């Protein structure tokens, strides 16, 4: 297990945790979501840290990952979502046509970012639509459960889908770095230690 792999994993857990926050409360950590959505557009980033802008930008993901590995404050809904996204990434890898459509859609959304800004409703709608027309048609489908009243609101559903798109982005990165699901069981302690080190480092950097 490497720090880069743990960062990508934290990115995945963060996006899933944000989707769950939205499903439960209709709102989420805006700063963390901004970093997660930004990672979707950083396709050719020079390093894993650069994908998220800074290790501090995935602190929510690192905390969620640590809770999952240590089984202290584990959220089973987030765990299930993360595992499903990992499997969804494998389905996507077998569909080069959808991968191409996804990449073209991200490039088109990037143009909207330049025009409206990344956190605009237009960009959010475009990314949510992109998720619905590509990843939603693959198996397994990511099932998000939460407050039914929140999940009936189109704006909340869009943000959930946008975060799921960011989750898949991190899952692709994790896989590219040699990440595999079984490593979470085999290297649980090492992964937790690396995540704690990254979390401590990012907290100190921010002071």
How high is the mean pLDDT of the chain?
93
SS3 146: coil
pLDDT at 67: 93
Residue with tokens 């990440």: 179
Which residue in 69, 52, 67 sits closest to 7, CA to CA? 52
Instruction: State whether the Cα torsion 54-13-8-63 is positive or negative.
Output: positive
Q: How confident is the model at residue 74 (pLDDT cuts 50, 70, 90)?
A: confident
On the question of pLDDT at 192 being above 60, the answer is yes
Which residue in 107, 108, 162, 174 sits closest to 135, CA to CA? 162
pLDDT at 170: 97
Q: Which residue has the higher pLDDT, 58 or 74?
A: 58
- Per the structure, the count of domains in the chain is 1
* Residue 63: domain span: 3-205
Which residue in 37, 63, 27, 23 sits closest to 143, CA to CA? 23
Q: How confident is the model at residue 105 (pLDDT cuts 50, 70, 90)?
A: very high
Which residues, at least 6 apart from 199, have a Cβ–Cβ distance to it below 8 Å? 59, 62, 63, 66
* 166-184: average pLDDT: 94
Instruction: State whether the Cα torsion 30-205-187-52 is positive or negative.
Output: positive
pLDDT tens for 123-158 read 999 999 999 999 999 999 999 999 999 999 999 999
* 162-174: average pLDDT: 97
On the question of pLDDT at 117 being above 90, the answer is no
CATH of the domain at 92: 1.10.3890.10
pLDDT at 72: 76
- Determine the Cα angle at 109 with ends 165 and 47, to 5°: 65
Q: How confident is the model at residue 119 (pLDDT cuts 50, 70, 90)?
A: confident
Q: Helices marked H in the chain — which ranges? A: 3-25, 30-41, 48-52, 59-70, 76-93, 96-116, 121-133, 154-176, 183-186, 188-205
């Amino acid at each position: 297990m490497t720090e880069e792999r743990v960062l990508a994993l934290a990115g995945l857990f963060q996006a899933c945790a944000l989707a769950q926050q939205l499903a439960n409360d209709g709102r989420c950590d805006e700063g963390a979501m901004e970093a997660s959505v930004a990672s979707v557009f950083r396709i050719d980033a020079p390093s894993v840290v650069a994908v998220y802008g800074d290790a501090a930008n995935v602190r929510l993901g690192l905390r969620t990952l640590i809770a999952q590995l240590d089984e202290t404050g584990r959220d089973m809904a987030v765990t299930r979502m993360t595992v499903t996204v990992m499997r969804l990434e494998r389905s996507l890898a077998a569909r080069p046509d959808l991968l191409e459509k996804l990449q073209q859609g991200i490039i088109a959304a990037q143009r909207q970012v330049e025009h409206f800004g990344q956190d605009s409703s237009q960009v959010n709608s475009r990314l949510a639509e992109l998720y619905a027309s590509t990843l939603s048609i693959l198996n397994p489908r990511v099932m998000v459960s939460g407050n039914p009243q929140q999940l009936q609101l189109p704006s909340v559903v869009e943000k959930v889908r946008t975060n799921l798109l960011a989750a898949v982005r991190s899952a692709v990165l994790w896989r590219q770095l040699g990440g595999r699901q079984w490593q979470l069981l085999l290297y649980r302690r090492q992964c937790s230690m690396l995540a704690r080190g990254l979390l401590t480092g990012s907290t100190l950097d921010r002071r």
